[in-house]
Amino acid sequence: MPDTKKFIENLSGAGKCIGVLTSGGDAQGMNAAVRAVVRMGIYVGAKVYFIHEGYQGMVDGGDNIKEASWESVSSMLQVGGTVIGSARCKDFRTHEGRLRAALNLVQRGITNLCVIGGDGSLTGANLFREEWSGLLDELVQSGEISEEASQIHSALHIVGMVGSIDNDFCGTDMTIGTDSALHRIIEVVDAIMTTAQSHQRTFVLEVMGRHCGYLALVSALACGADWVLIPEMPPKDGWEEQMCYKLSENRADKKRLNIIIVAEGAIDQSNKPITTELIKDLVVRCLGFDTRVTILGHVQRGGTPSAFDRILASRMGVEAVLALLEASPGTPACVVSLCGNQAVRVPLMECVQMTQEVQKAMDEKRFEEAVRLRGRSFENNLNTYKLLSHRKIDSELPHSSFNVAVLNVGAPAAGMNAAVRSAVRVGITEGHTMFAVSDGFEGFYKGQIKEIKWGDVGGWTGQGGSLLGTKRTLPAKHIDKIAEQMRIHNINALLVIGGFEAYLGLMELQAARSKHAELCVPMVMVPATVSNNIPGSDLSIGADTALNAITDTCDRIKQSASGTKRRVFIIETMGGYCGYLATVGGLAAGADAAYIYEEPFDIRELQSNVEHLTEKMKTSIQRGLVLRNENCSENYTTDFIYQLYNEEGKGVFDCRKNVLGHMQQGGAPSPFDRNFGTKIAAKAMQWISKKLKEFYREGRVFANTEDSACLLGMRRRALVFQPVIQLKDETDFVHRIPKEQWWLRLRPLMKILAKYKTSYDVSDSGQLEHIVRLRAKDISAI
């Protein structure tokens, strides 16, 4: 990180004009990106123009290129697709078309372009940039622009954001729209599962992805599909028999349904397409199962963007404007991308070349290399799928003679069951005997421990809450009984999935090792809590589902006031003392303010927020949204804030309040939480296997080192095992939160997008990273 801090206040966009366009296929979240570019651009003093209908609008000019105002992007955050329109443009592919586009931009002084689209759109933008000075010379010669105008507008700067539901672009972990498309797929799969279960049917689902199997792969992981077919991994010869054997084996195991997911570009080893009809015929012919085909089609592109896509697009939009402000004539065109949970900039053409290399590798049947080129996220998903999908017969399993117990601790969180399923199946694959403990540490000391087998966790990924049962009880008071149960069942390792109580519990177990040799076994904790308040991890299982619940509810609440007079909503969120849900939910829902414990506020700030909203409501904006974390202040309660806004807003707006409560904890887990839970628990089990071998001495397991009781967390870009004892100094135990929290850096973003003047540290931005470096460094990541 640079020594000198860099702040947004020192960056000025005065005199600059930015054009924003969406091009190619639409994707949910594009509007959030457009909104962020417009508001950040205006915030730094630049003029921002909408370029309607993509490159077609740039070529046609006229009313297609319009100046944007702050209000013109109000209420578009929650809308799917792209409000400014997108079109596939033949004219821009011709030199003549690009010449007309250059003229239209120069006439309006636009020399900064923010392009939101797929690799085709971004390649076109780069070609335009390379030709720019030549195009201006032609325009000067034909007398359409003056020599002076050509000098002033001599350099064109381009920043790209990838909007594509396929996630087919190298250089970023996630493209805008992918998470929302997964939401649509999983909603459909969950609905199909209930009908398939009723009739004992097999369903073959086709999902989008002509050249990329990401959607098929991740949705297969997220719903526990029986078989998946993707272009990057054509099945080996003889796959037909293998697949039919797997389906019939699952039926014999009392499973009433089968799900097969096929990417539309799925191929076999000789590059021949594998269609849904072909699979249906195969299943009917070989097994006689009642089989149905569902093609999801454009449903996947539709609907409102998920919380993840709104946040991703908002962060990328702000980062894109910063990149344009900092660009010099020699700066290469870059793409704002996501790595772990960080926004980074990567050279556009490096990404495009690598994306094209993937296709080339697939055409030449170098499939393993194609998977590697897709990047770490894709590779890890594929490896996890392989690990979980093919059940080995007992004779193939390594026999370890180790017993591993899994338990849930703390409040329920969506995704816990996906993590348990993954842990159980990976454990069995590694040769261990797996035990499930019911009701957390309470069930542990009462002896509610029983063996759990492969088939017992079938269908668990999509279930909300905790099927094992979970309690907040801590182990310290019952340590003797817990040690006795460890001895009775000969438990050699522990996997604890839960929230802050799980973290405290692991510390208590470790502290009791000196008295109880039974506790000297490898222990690992996987964070699962909606509050996202666990030290040592940027994210926890369940937080994404809760964010989506908050975002959906805020959308509905805002809509409830449409057509009525001006209204402000005060909404209380969960989280204990941790303001993650209020802050990130606020960013995703387009809130005007979010009050949290970590950022103390006083009556003066409340007063200025009310005045700010009053000013805003005098314009065309009709609705305001204020989020409040449940424990942000002892005295400034939700009622107090509601009454204050009501009183001060008299004559301008009226107020309503909502306490969201336990709906934030319920519901089916989001695709992200299913996937995150599955991958993180699989990694935890592999660590346990490694530690069991390491600590096996003279016929028993004895682990008494600091690094044998760990928390597995996501840190910036990687999944890291950290000894819980070392996390003590990072924890505020009184308020049950980490002392430093990464998401606090997102707060200025929310304020800027709500039109507040604020200080924003942008020191993290600005380093252009190269793709190759990006991959080598992050090999161990998620």
311-370 pLDDT per residue, tens: 999 999 999 999 999 988 888 899 999 887 788 899 999 999 999 999 999 999 899 999
Average pLDDT over residues 218-244: 92
Give the tens place of pLDDT for each residue, 14-50.
Answer: 889 999 999 988 999 999 999 999 999 999 999 999 9
Per-residue pLDDT at 565: 76
Q: 3-state SS of 345-402?
A: EEEHHHHHHHHHHHHHHHHCCCHHHHHHHHCHHHHHHHHHHHHHHCCCCHHHCCCCCC
**Coil, strand or helix at 505:** helix
Give whichever of 3-12, 259-268, 394-403 has the largest mean pLDDT. 259-268
Instruction: List residues bridging with 452 in a β-sheet.
Output: none
Distances in whole angstroms, Cα of residue 464 to Cα of each of 279, 358, 425, 665: 31, 37, 19, 9
Per-residue pLDDT at 393: 62
**Those residues with Cβ within 8 angstroms of residue 219's Cβ, 6 or more apart along the chain or in another chain:** 182, 185, 186, 189, 207, 225, 261, 671
User: What amino acid is encoded at 755 in this protein?
Assistant: K
Distances in whole angstroms, Cα of residue 570 to Cα of each of 19, 150, 588, 657: 35, 52, 16, 5
Give the tens place of pLDDT for each residue, 704-723.
Answer: 999 999 999 999 778 999 99
Per-residue pLDDT at 619: 80
Contact criterion met (CB below 8 Å) for 304 and 588: no
Give the tens place of pLDDT for each residue, 58-108.
Answer: 999 999 999 999 999 988 999 999 999 998 889 999 999 999 999 999 999
As a whole number, the mean pLDDT across the chain is 91
Residue with tokens 């097999």: 202
Lowest-confidence region among 50-54, 186-190, 250-254, 462-466: 250-254
pLDDT band at 778 (very low <50, low <70, confident <90, very high): very low
**Coil, strand or helix at 453:** coil
Alpha carbons 205 and 220: distance in angstroms, whole number: 10
Alpha helices in 236-306 (DSSP H): 239-252, 276-287
Alpha carbons 296 and 299: distance in angstroms, whole number: 6
Query: Between these two residues, 13 and 410, which has the higher pLDDT value?
Result: 410
Distances in whole angstroms, Cα of residue 256 to Cα of each of 188, 437, 459: 18, 27, 11
**Those residues with Cβ within 8 angstroms of residue 96's Cβ, 6 or more apart along the chain or in another chain:** none
Per-residue pLDDT at 270: 86
The torsion angle over the Cα atoms of residues 658, 183, 163 and 761, rounded to 10 degrees, is 40
Residues of the chain above pLDDT 90, percent: 75
Per-residue pLDDT at 782: 40
Contact criterion met (CB below 8 Å) for 402 and 658: no
Considering just the CA atoms, what is the radius of gyration of the chain in Å?
27
Closest by Cα among 115, 110, 121, 101 to 159: 115
Contact criterion met (CB below 8 Å) for 73 and 35: yes
String of DSSP letters for 459-496 = T-TT--S-SS-EE---SGGGHHHHHHHHHHTT--EEEE
Alpha carbons 468 and 412: distance in angstroms, whole number: 10
Active site residue 166: yes
Alpha carbons 514 and 622: distance in angstroms, whole number: 63
The secondary element (H helix, E strand) that includes residue 161 is: strand 157-162
String of DSSP letters for 594-644 = EE-TTS---HHHHHHHHHHHHHHHTTT--EEEEEEETTS-SSS-HHHHHHH
The secondary element (H helix, E strand) that includes residue 743 is: none
Phi-psi region of 394 (alpha: psi -120 to 50; beta: other; left: phi over 0): alpha
Closest by Cα among 11, 83, 106 to 319: 11
Which of 26, 60, 119, 166 is catalytic? The answer is 166
Contact criterion met (CB below 8 Å) for 677 and 719: no
Alpha carbons 590 and 179: distance in angstroms, whole number: 19
Alpha carbons 700 and 690: distance in angstroms, whole number: 15
Give the tens place of pLDDT for each residue, 631-680.
Answer: 999 999 999 999 999 999 998 999 999 999 999 998 999 999 999 999 99
**Coil, strand or helix at 715:** strand
Cα end-to-end distance, the chain, whole Å = 23
Give the tens place of pLDDT for each residue, 151-176.
Answer: 999 999 999 999 999 999 988 889 99
Per-residue pLDDT at 772: 55
The secondary element (H helix, E strand) that includes residue 300 is: none
Cβ-count burial 446-482 (b if 16+ within 10 Å, e if not)? eebbeebebeebbbbbbbbbbbbbbbbbbbeebbeeb
Residues of the chain above pLDDT 70, percent: 95
Contact criterion met (CB below 8 Å) for 89 and 119: no
Give the tens place of pLDDT for each residue, 722-755.
Answer: 999 999 999 999 999 999 999 999 999 899 998 8
- Per DSSP bridges, beta strands 709-715 and 523-527 are parallel
- Per DSSP bridges, beta strands 157-162 and 334-339 are parallel
pLDDT band at 781 (very low <50, low <70, confident <90, very high): very low
The torsion angle over the Cα atoms of residues 55, 58, 60 and 65, rounded to 10 degrees, is 130
Query: Between these two residues, 195 and 150, which has the higher pLDDT value?
Result: 150
Per-residue pLDDT at 198: 82
Per-residue pLDDT at 776: 36
pLDDT band at 197 (very low <50, low <70, confident <90, very high): confident
- Per DSSP bridges, beta strands 718-723 and 709-715 are antiparallel
Is the per-residue pLDDT at 774 higher than 60? no
- Per DSSP bridges, beta strands 258-263 and 227-229 are parallel
Alpha carbons 683 and 690: distance in angstroms, whole number: 11
Query: Between these two residues, 121 and 771, which has the higher pLDDT value?
Result: 121
Q: Angle at CA 32, nearest 5°, toward 23 and 596?
A: 160
Helices 178-199 and 671-694, interaxial angle, to 10°? 90
Average pLDDT over residues 193-207: 88
Alpha carbons 119 and 356: distance in angstroms, whole number: 9
**How many other C-beta atoms lie within 10 A of the C-beta of residue 500?**
24
Contact criterion met (CB below 8 Å) for 271 and 365: yes
**How many other C-beta atoms lie within 10 A of the C-beta of residue 692?**
21
Per-residue pLDDT at 295: 94
Per-residue pLDDT at 398: 67
Give the tens place of pLDDT for each residue, 556-570.
Answer: 998 887 766 789 999
Helices 214-223 and 178-199, interaxial angle, to 10°? 50
Running DSSP on this structure, what letter comes out for residue 333? P
Burial of residue 298, with CB atoms counted within 10 A of its CB: 0-12 exposed, 13-18 middle, 19 or more buried: exposed
Query: Between these two residues, 436 and 258, which has the higher pLDDT value?
Result: 436
